[in-house]
Structure 1
Amino acid sequence: MEGLVGTSRYIHPLLAETNNVDRDIVRLVYSGLTRISPGREVLPDLATDWDILDQGKTYLFHLRNDVLWHDEDVFTADDVVYTINVLQNDDYRGVLKSSFAGIVVEKIDDYSVKFTLPSSSAFFLYDISVPVIPQHLYQDIPVGEFKNIYAEDKIIGTGPYQFEKSTPGESITLKRFKRYYETSPYIERLVFFFFDNEKSLLTAFKNRTVSAAGFTEISPTNSDLTPNDMRYVYSLPQYKGVFFNQLSNNNAVKNKAVRQALAYAVNKQQIIEQVEGGGADRVDSPILPGFWGNNPDMSKYDFNITKAAEVLKKNGWVDADGDGILDKDGTRLSFQVAIRDDDKSKQIAELLQRNWRSVGADAVIEPLDVTTLIKDVIRPRNYEALIFGQDLGADSDPYVYWHSSQIADPGLALAVEVDKDIDNSLEAARVSTSLQQTIVNYHKFQATFADLVPAILLYQPRYVYLVDAKVKGITDKINLSYLSDRFANLTEWYIKTR
């Protein structure tokens, strides 16, 4: 029995993109052509293997011929083609749509499918891990009506567990699918109970209302644990950072020396200790550890107030009027920082503001409710600097977060800049058919990032998973792309009964 914060809405892989509860359950009920290993490597799943042809523009997948849907219908290539067609349908509005734009999918025979890409992609095998849905249940339903006709009798996948029952707003029960094509899990049933917040979830775990619970907002301490509890800690595929808008009207944030000095004046460890209670990891690179291409040796800005002041002085910034704020050529070293109006964001902003003030920079904090922040500030890129968190998910491709083509909504790039060296490195990495060459280009990207400082990345949050010690086989040696990846080796979990 596991406790989850939130409640289920759609246990459907193409509708569950932003709901962690749905995503957890979808992970166990459905499967894709490929799956991502605990080490973030691509492994076969519904596909047995594949051929890469035409310099990486064509992929031919060979499918398993022993797979049944949970209603015991036979899985074939028709289901794969249908799923991709749904993702490309004009009425499908999900975030998965962009990954399959321009791709042609073709059934070769019942157990072979060909994909023709508009250009080579080093990440297509990750994209194709998207769960497949059953054609026989949905083919007569317009894509735009999927949410309206959603019902429990359509929760039919090919994964290790199948839907058994639910109590709306309270719990969902899954049972082991006895005809699963891979190694069958040891645990017969999984029951997920829903909670309003992490505080009530922790209480339920202590009382053993649930035997497993995960936390991102609070960090359970040793006093919350007993000898019968196990604690697993994972780094989340996210980072908190300060993102600069170099296309704003503020000449200070456009100045590279200013951004470098501000980076030197950030005490990341202090922020981690005071904001996250030590429960986070320092981040310097836009490619996180565990993702392809991370360069642990990239240049870093260690906390050094003296160095920050030297960089500004060398660049001609002086306090001409004695007010404690530096100036240069009529530009005052002052800028607005938009933040979400919550305790953690305020703490981060105030710590940064204090250190930046000590080197003559005036950061004006602007707290906003989340709706206003997203609608009126982030989407139109109406900010000079922004403190925000970015969730990378399973995507090892930093293009969507840092390429200049993504700086306008609905793009995901929060650091607003146009730089040909960053763009060229990301473009070359994306179309390379050689992983080694992709990594070389990512190292170039990180070197340029360190020099230009389009953003100051702060820390990577952690996920703490508490489990009754009777549950064995769990590992924390997993690079999470999503919280549901804690189930990556679920077929190895078992309950010690004596």
Structure 2
Amino acid sequence: MSSDKSSWNRFARLKVSRKGVNKRLRKIEKGSLRHAHKFVMSRLDRLANVRRRVSIWVALVLVMIGVSAVQWHISRNSFTTMTYASGGSYSEGVLGPLENLNPIFAKTSAEKSATKLLFSSLYRYDSTGNIKTDLADGVKVNYKETEYTVKLKKNLKWSDGYDLTINDVIFTLKLLANPEVGAEISGWRSIKFEKVSEDSVKFILPASYSPFVHALTFPIVPEHALKDVKPSNLREHDFSKAPISSGPFAFRLLQNVTSDGSKKVLYLQSNGNYYGGTAKLDRFQLYVYPTQDDIVKSLRTREITGTSELIYNDQPAEVKSMYAAESHSLNNGVYALFNNNSQFLQSKSVRQALALSVDTGKLRQSLSSSIEELSGPILNKFLGKASQPLGYDTKKAKSLLDAEGWKVVDNARQKENVKLKLNMVALKNNNYEKAAQYLAQVWRNELNIEVDVKVIDPNDASQNILQTILQPRNFDVLIYELSLGGDPDVYAYWHSSQATNNGLNFSNYNNAVADDALESGRSKLSLKQRSDRYEKFANTWKTDAPAIALYQPKFDYIHIRSVRVLDEKTEVVNPVDRYVDVQYWAAEKQSVYKTP
């Protein structure tokens, strides 16, 4: 206690000067400012300089990184490329109905498309339109050209793993030849065949027939799945709904989308047992529609990837903006067929007059799709010298009619008070109908002939074109498309023996010289000899004018732009031959290194 008091007394005796304190405070303040300026403010300036330099370096580093990235990308593109890869799915729209998947009963576009995807044949057409082996390894022909021995490839399999053998070929041929089966494929009842070894079959023809290998494009069906089925029950068997296949794709599921079954989806998957190798596509779907309008709607909604059932130029701009298309020639010919037994068309001069009055080049220009010139009964590419049409000469056409007694009276052609009036029939199709109207207008305006045009819908069962039009030849002029195939042989359409109710000579054409040329042409294997015979036939045909060759049609394959489908140079014999290289179609891409 005494210590604390002593300290206080000493403090109290101190003399503190206010002036001195202020002086000392000012001195401390000045020292603090000098210290702050020296150690803080001056270093802030240095920090700003450093910051600028750091920013410059960071920017340079970022630029270098960007340049390196661009250089890497360019370098990478130099060594890599985008290519179509395995995998993915493809959906195609086709016209139905689709009632049967057994290929020997296929008759609609949908059923024939399914057949090509699911089944293989002994022979098929390649991308150039030429015949080549499919399941067959080759063929040997005897010196008389009446026996064809076909040998199968080795290690062929069905999609279920069973071996595909020559027994399956023999089994299929027996079905085609059996009238109880009612197959859509005809012509095999007159052909003998026999098994000659475990991998070969011999066909014995009644006479030499050079286009015979083209007949070997029929699909093969499996004996092990159908051998116990009665021929009359084959159409209704479960195989017709869920088949075993040998083609590039195998069956997965058939779905009815609508309650009436008019719209269906056939789901397929790649067939790992296909002899040609596994397809790039994992899955393939056939969307089956009842009308073309339904297919157009499906394109708009991108329900399907592609279709061959429509004309691209007829599609709305909305569809064209999403899809591309390529046109491919078909080995078909569209004709104005004259009924040579008609009371008005029995005369060659009248038929010639009708042909001479038509400018077929102008007609082709009026049609909506890309087509090719057709000058006669045989495709131009099969003849060494294409048959030239009669030409276009309206003046000569009128003189021929006058010479036959068909004079113009009251603006109409008449003979003995009978008017020259033609009944023309066209199948419901945009181009067929335009062609019919063009011909009718020409004959009315230029030749003063009355023409009645009737359009028949082949898909309308009530109209039944076969029974009401084709078999009874119930027409004077018929606008019709003939399937000319991969060979110049047109015997079925123009030989007099085929001018029957069940024959395909719808013109009832009958000429002994033409018959002889057709018979000789199909009996020779020599291309030169065949060409000579067919040139003779074509020239005779031109003079007789049993029809007018209008055009060779094309079909458009419409597809989204990102897929790989038919090569634009592919030649297609029949519409279903668009699948000639379907195992290489692709829907997906990937980056791969380029081969040095």
- Which amino acid in the other structure matches residue 31 of structure 1? S
Deviates more, 1:165-174 or 1:197-206: 197-206
Q: Does 1:133 align with 2:221?
A: yes
What is the SS of the residue equivalent to 1:184? Answer: coil
Aligned 8 A contact 2:330 2:553 in 1:
yes
Residues 1:310 and 1:224: Cα distance change in structure 2 (over 3 Å)? farther
- Which amino acid in the other structure matches residue 165 of structure 1? L
Structure number with greater Rg is 2
Deviates more, 1:364-373 or 1:162-171: 364-373
- What is the rounded CA distance, in whole Å, between the counterparts of 2:303 and 2:396 in structure 1? 53
Equivalent of residue 52 in structure 1, options 117, 141, 144: 141
Aligned 8 A contact 1:295 1:446 in 2:
no
**Per-residue CA distance 1:135-158 (angstroms, 9 max, x = gap):** 111111122211121446751121
**Per-residue CA distance 1:6-57 (angstroms, 9 max, x = gap):** 24211122011x2111111110111111111122322112111121114211
Equivalent of residue 478 in structure 1, options 552, 557, 570: 570
Aligned 8 A contact 2:427 2:479 in 1:
no
- What is the rounded CA distance, in whole Å, between the counterparts of 1:62 and 1:485 in structure 2? 23
What is the SS of the residue equivalent to 1:309? Answer: helix
What is the SS of the residue equivalent to 1:147? Answer: helix
- What is the rounded CA distance, in whole Å, between the counterparts of 1:11 and 1:342 in structure 2? 27
Residues 1:325 and 1:297: Cα distance change in structure 2 (over 3 Å)? same
Equivalent of residue 260 in structure 1, options 335, 352, 359: 352
- What is the rounded CA distance, in whole Å, between the counterparts of 1:210 and 1:296 in structure 2? 43
Gaps of 5+ in 2: 1-90, 257-262, 458-462, 591-596
Equivalent runs, 1:47-86 vs 2, <5 Å: 47-86=136-175
Q: Does 1:420 align with 2:512?
A: yes
Give 2:35's aligned residue.
none
Equivalent of residue 12 in structure 1, options 98, 102, 110: 102
Offset at 1:357?
2.9
Gaps of 5+ in 1: none
- What is the rounded CA distance, in whole Å, between the counterparts of 1:284 and 1:305 in structure 2? 18
Equivalent runs, 1:293-372 vs 2, <5 Å: 293-294=382-383, 297-313=386-402, 315=403, 317=405, 319=407, 322-326=409-413, 330=416, 334-340=420-426, 342=428, 344=430, 347-365=434-452, 367=454, 369=456, 371=463
- What is the rounded CA distance, in whole Å, between the counterparts of 2:487 and 2:175 in structure 1? 21
- What is the rounded CA distance, in whole Å, between the counterparts of 2:500 and 2:428 in structure 1? 26
- What is the rounded CA distance, in whole Å, between the counterparts of 2:312 and 2:522 in structure 1? 37
Q: Does 1:171 align with 2:262?
A: no
Q: Does 1:497 align with 2:583?
A: no
Offset at 1:240?
3.0
- What is the rounded CA distance, in whole Å, between the counterparts of 1:22 and 1:277 in structure 2? 27
Equivalent runs, 1:451-462 vs 2, <5 Å: 451-462=543-554
Q: Does 1:242 align with 2:336?
A: yes
- Which amino acid in the other structure matches residue 288 of structure 1? L
Task: Give RMSD over aligned pairs.
Answer: 2.6
- What is the rounded CA distance, in whole Å, between the counterparts of 1:477 and 1:4 in structure 2? 22
Count of aligned pairs: 488
Residues 1:357 and 1:473: Cα distance change in structure 2 (over 3 Å)? closer
Deviates more, 1:446-455 or 1:334-343: 334-343
Give 2:205's aligned residue.
117
- What is the rounded CA distance, in whole Å, between the counterparts of 1:79 and 1:22 in structure 2? 21
Deviates more, 1:205-214 or 1:450-459: 205-214
Residues 1:439 and 1:227: Cα distance change in structure 2 (over 3 Å)? same
- Which amino acid in the other structure matches residue 102 of structure 2? H
What is the SS of the residue equivalent to 2:550? Answer: strand
**Per-residue CA distance 1:442-492 (angstroms, 9 max, x = gap):** 111111111110011222333111112221252132332322111111122
Aligned 8 A contact 1:58 1:117 in 2:
yes
Residues 1:157 and 1:303: Cα distance change in structure 2 (over 3 Å)? same
Q: Does 1:206 align with 2:295?
A: no
Give 1:285's aligned residue.
376
**Per-residue CA distance 1:366-410 (angstroms, 9 max, x = gap):** 526552653233212243333333344566531111111111111
Give 2:17's aligned residue.
none
Give 2:128's aligned residue.
39
TM-score by length of structure 1 reads 0.90
Aligned 8 A contact 1:219 1:279 in 2:
no
Aligned 8 A contact 2:252 2:267 in 1:
yes
- Which amino acid in the other structure matches residue 334 of structure 1? L
- What is the rounded CA distance, in whole Å, between the counterparts of 2:528 and 2:588 in structure 1? 44
Percent identity over paired residues? 23
Aligned 8 A contact 2:311 2:369 in 1:
no
Deviates more, 1:141-150 or 1:339-348: 339-348
Residues 1:347 and 1:76: Cα distance change in structure 2 (over 3 Å)? closer
Aligned 8 A contact 2:123 2:134 in 1:
yes
